[in-house]
Structure 1
Amino acid sequence: MMMMDQLEYCIMKFGTPSYLFDIDKMKETVGKFREALGEKAGLCFAMKANPFLAGQMETQADRLEVCSMGEFRICKKQGIAPEKLLISGVLKEKEEILEILDTYGGACTYTIESLDQYHSFSEWCQRKEKPVHVYLRLTSGNQFGMDGETIYNIIKIRTMCPYLNIQGIHYFSGTQKKHAGKIKEELEYLDQFLMEMEERTGFQLEELEYGPGLSVPYFVGQEDHRSSDLKELVRAVEGMKWKGSVMLEMGRALAADCGYYLTTVKDIKQSNGKRYCIVDGGIHHLSYDGQIRGMYEPVFRVWPENQTGAECQWTVCGSLCTVNDVLMQKASIRDLKAGNVLIFERAGAYAMTEGMALFLSHELPKILFYSKEMGWKPVRGRIPTFEWNMEN
């Protein structure tokens, strides 16, 4: 957790609304996972959780999951090594597949989510006579991936395309799993599936790319069971009979704690006995999984800190012209005034990309990095959006 004097410096120098990502904290989190996993599993960072961290995560994670052409172009522009990239995503247009393959070929690893994608990869491999490593994505009962029989049939005809190297299986069923028991059940299911697939096809699957969906507690009163969940995850991996290698794909669990969202109180008022404060940000900037019109109180701090004055309940609202723009409904804050800054914590994953960014054509916030080694580094200025919302 950053010290208040560091946050005060950030507020005074860079203003609000802003996102701040503590790179030291990000590295500390990854280090804890590394220590717990040891040699039992690798780490893949799902960059959709925070694309701004892609370059920083390149040196920390074994792999980065890329789920769109936009994310691919981010990695390409930042010079991230193609060997670090897992090209995933439910929709891969043939033209996009060919562009990535023509750019990096078999240096990247790829997921295959459908028979159409399989044929696109196969055609390129056959034409170029170059090997490509792929994961076959196993569905968890939704629109992602393929069922077991489809995967079986692809493995069965693998010799028809010798350049397409089936490396393993990819599986992800969802995020914010509340209990480690669900993760244990999924790994038991995958263990059985991998063993049966090898028995049926005579083909050894080398790797499992698995997204456990570890939960992050965003709100006051929620139990933080990440440490125990991680221990259960490690035990479940250790207990697998299938003896290939495991890569754990995570975004939220690796990035959430490193992020802060800073927004200034611009107006305060009372209506029908209820206290409201209006901040210069809102739900177009800050999105917590599970938050509904500010029903739950996120972990937050107030600057300047005030230990005196009456503590009152405030409804914290953003600057959007919608009644849904509520960040907190019953926040207990002492002596709140216009000019105070609210510092929302655990905003390092999804918070900056899942909001209604273009609604009402507000500016996008400034984004900053901090670490002891680099100091303060602005990585994006505030960006006007009105031109994106008008006829050109």
Structure 2
Amino acid sequence: MDMECLEHGIVKYGTPLYVFNIDEMRKTVSLFRKKLGGKAGLCFAMKANPFLTRQMAAITDRIEVCSMGEFEICRKLKIEPEKILISGVLKEREDIYSILSHYRGACTYTIESLNQFHAMAEWCDANNEVIHVYLRLTSGNQFGMDAETIQNMVFKRNMCPFLKIQGIHYFSGTQKKSMEKVKKEFAYLDNFLKNLEETSEFQIEELEYGPGIPVPYFEGQKDAIEENIQIITDAILSMQWKGSIILEMGRALAARCGYYLTSVKDIKQSDGKNYCIVDGGIHQINYDGQIRGMYLPMFRVSPEHHYGAKRAYTVCGSLCTVNDILMQNAEIINLKIGNVLVFERAGAYAMTEGMALFLSHELPQAAFYSKEMGWKLARKKQGLYKYNMEDEIDDGNIDEYFNGNR
């Protein structure tokens, strides 16, 4: 996204501001489609950026929903149920029933445990409704079930005729440092699926797999997205199991389309060290792997200066904590109060993983941009202080003590 366009957004909306470039989002998804060559579908994990849910639903095959809040987002956006995968390690029985009552058998569900299996089976039996499910295979953590449990479920599938096993779901983590692990996981899944089919005499139609493709955020990191997609494509082609594959991703599809803009509000020097204070902070932007600004993310400065003194700055946010450091030793030419720092690759998790409620600061505005449609405000500034104080609730209890009157 060119600086002239970003500066238009600064004038229009001010800072702090998130900008999500829909054209760049589409470009990334198109790249995956092209490189995969039809060998796998795409599922967008909406937790990476809930703002992009509607746009991603239009260009990917599926949206992964992992909470009741995400379910409500999809319901309000009227996302087609056929495009929804209900996932998540915790599904309360009442939540399961609420979702099932709304979508019934129109979407797909993951099963993470025996408790979830029984809850879904009971609802289906009571409502005479067939639903399609993925059995989630654990990768050695709290998610999913072990191979033996899944095998037993497949063996006993006829005992629950309303639960149609559609496939296996597998995810082992994000930001993998080596694609060798991805290749090993494909080989493991290939062997698991083949053995499961042979021992159960049941065809597993689909595999939903989260490869955890890394996204480079910092200087010195290689951008190997095309190479990594090719590795995945080759791994799929080498599999003996020949069912359908859907790649579940969030970061890899969304990171590149996002920008976080924050204004320089103060510049000072202490003990020979240059500090730049901005109106944002770590409560509004988070890069995976960043620790107190030790790594230098990709960023630009508006307006851009090509002449003047270049100094190294420690860029700090507006929070009252020494941990609020966005960058250390960021070399910037002729930095002035009023300049805007533009942090790139902030389209996934960057806006949701910060400690938003700390100090009761406002949530920043967020905007969409596309060359064809122009600008659209996606969220106004939201005050958060009310979430850090008691509600005015009359529950009939005596509260003089709690109000400090005793």
Deviation, structure 1 residue 226 = 1.6
Deviation, structure 1 residue 224 = 1.2
* Alignment of 1:277 onto 2:276: yes
Q: Report which stretch shifted further, 225-234 or 324-333.
A: 225-234
Which amino acid in structure 1 is aligned with residue 378 of structure 2? V
Tell me the equivalent position of 1:351. Answer: 350
After superposition, give the CA deviation of every residue in 1:22-49 in whole Å (9 maximum; x if it has no partner).
0000001000000011221000000000
CA distance in 2, matches of 1:85, 1:13: 35
* Alignment of 1:134 onto 2:133: yes
Find runs of 4+ consecutive structure 1 residues off by over 2 angstroms: none
* Alignment of 1:256 onto 2:224: no
CA distance in 1, matches of 2:289, 2:266: 27
**Which sections of structure 1, spanning at least 5 residues, go unmatched?**
none
After superposition, give the CA deviation of every residue in 1:218-257 in whole Å (9 maximum; x if it has no partner).
0011111221111101000111000100000000000000
Tell me the equivalent position of 1:314. Answer: 313
Which amino acid in structure 1 is aligned with residue 388 of structure 2? N
Tell me the equivalent position of 2:238. Answer: 239
Contact 1:44 1:61 in 2 (8 A): yes
Deviation, structure 1 residue 86 = 0.2
CA distance in 1, matches of 2:342, 2:282: 14
CA distance in 1, matches of 2:348, 2:83: 20
Contact 1:88 1:110 in 2 (8 A): yes
Tell me the equivalent position of 1:115. Answer: 114
Tell me the equivalent position of 2:396. Answer: none
CA distance in 2, matches of 1:212, 1:372: 31
Contact 2:135 2:169 in 1 (8 A): yes
Which amino acid in structure 2 is aligned with residue 194 of structure 1? L
Aligned residues: 391
Matched ranges for 1:327-346 at <5 A: 327-346=326-345
Tell me the equivalent position of 2:4. Answer: 5
Contact 2:176 2:213 in 1 (8 A): yes
After superposition, give the CA deviation of every residue in 1:317-338 in whole Å (9 maximum; x if it has no partner).
0000000000001100001111
Deviation, structure 1 residue 310 = 1.1
Which amino acid in structure 1 is aligned with residue 293 of structure 2? G
Deviation, structure 1 residue 390 = 0.6
Which amino acid in structure 1 is aligned with residue 46 of structure 2? M
Matched ranges for 1:1-392 at <5 A: 2-392=1-391
Contact 1:40 1:237 in 2 (8 A): yes
Normalising by structure 2, what TM-score?
A: 0.96
Deviation, structure 1 residue 270 = 0.2
Give the secondary structure class of the aligned counterpart of 1:58.
Answer: helix
Contact 1:129 1:163 in 2 (8 A): yes
CA distance in 1, matches of 2:12, 2:190: 52
CA distance in 1, matches of 2:189, 2:37: 21
Contact 1:133 1:166 in 2 (8 A): yes
CA distance in 2, matches of 1:38, 1:316: 43
CA distance in 2, matches of 1:226, 1:34: 13
CA distance in 2, matches of 1:198, 1:145: 19
After superposition, give the CA deviation of every residue in 1:198-220 in whole Å (9 maximum; x if it has no partner).
11111110000000000000001
Which amino acid in structure 2 is aligned with residue 164 of structure 1? L
Give the secondary structure class of the aligned counterpart of 2:312.
Answer: strand
Which amino acid in structure 2 is aligned with residue 377 of structure 1? K
Q: % of aligned pairs identical? A: 66
Which amino acid in structure 1 is aligned with residue 280 of structure 2? G
Which amino acid in structure 2 is aligned with residue 364 of structure 1? L
CA RMSD of superposed structures (Å): 0.5
Deviation, structure 1 residue 373 = 2.1
CA distance in 2, matches of 1:265, 1:313: 15
CA distance in 1, matches of 2:336, 2:181: 45
CA distance in 1, matches of 2:332, 2:179: 35
Contact 2:35 2:226 in 1 (8 A): no
Which amino acid in structure 2 is aligned with residue 17 of structure 1? P
Give the secondary structure class of the aligned counterpart of 1:107.
Answer: coil
CA distance in 2, matches of 1:323, 1:175: 28
Give the secondary structure class of the aligned counterpart of 1:193.
Answer: helix
**Which sections of structure 2, spanning at least 5 residues, go unmatched?**
392-406
CA distance in 2, matches of 1:366, 1:15: 8
After superposition, give the CA deviation of every residue in 1:131-163 in whole Å (9 maximum; x if it has no partner).
100000000000000000000111111001111
Deviation, structure 1 residue 295 = 0.1
CA distance in 2, matches of 1:36, 1:5: 31
Normalising by structure 1, what TM-score?
A: 0.99
Give the secondary structure class of the aligned counterpart of 1:44.
Answer: strand
CA distance in 1, matches of 2:136, 2:149: 10
Contact 1:179 1:229 in 2 (8 A): no
Of the two, which has the highest radius of gyration? Answer: 2
Deviation, structure 1 residue 126 = 1.2
Contact 2:313 2:329 in 1 (8 A): yes
Which amino acid in structure 2 is aligned with residue 212 of structure 1? P
